[in-house]
Amino acid sequence: MYKLINDDNERHCLECGEPLYGRPDKKFCNISCRSKYHGDLRRRHNMLYSKTMGNLQRNYEILEHLYRLNSLACPLRELLEMGFKTDFVTHRVEKKGKHLEYRCFDFIYNLSDNKLFNLRRL
């Protein structure tokens, strides 16, 4: 996406690296370079968003399944085998003298080194 140019005296297109002529604030040599540059930015953003939301949705489904089974605790090993990703949460609260409290949308739970416990719904 970004082309490295070592000449500091000339300005260059952010997409293809060609020298720029004209306005001093010009960033792209033509409309197609501008469109490609911004299209690539949107695609990367959308891919990251989709991946993050997919992981959150999977975590939510696992928590919902446990909640419907009235299982308020589960070994971490089993959660990970089901596809649970501990890094994907919507909120984290640090309570003084207690375990961290995690949230995945409307589910609240605590997580230790070896298990998920105190699963409840808002």
Q: What is the pLDDT of residues 63-118, one digit of tens each?
A: 999 999 999 899 999 999 999 999 999 999 887 777 789 999 999 999 988 999 99
Compute the distance between CA of residue 62 and CA of residue 99 in angstroms, rounded to an integer: 21
Report the number of distinct structural domains present in the chain: 1
How many CB atoms within 10 Å of residue 17? 13
Q: What is the pLDDT of residues 40-66, one digit of tens each?
A: 999 999 999 999 999 999 999 999 999
pLDDT of residue 8: 60
Structure tokens at 95: 């309570």
- Judge whether 95 lies within some domain: yes
Q: Determine the structural domain holding residue 75 and report its residue range.
A: 31-121
pLDDT bracket for residue 7 (50, 70, 90): low
- Judge whether 53 lies within some domain: yes
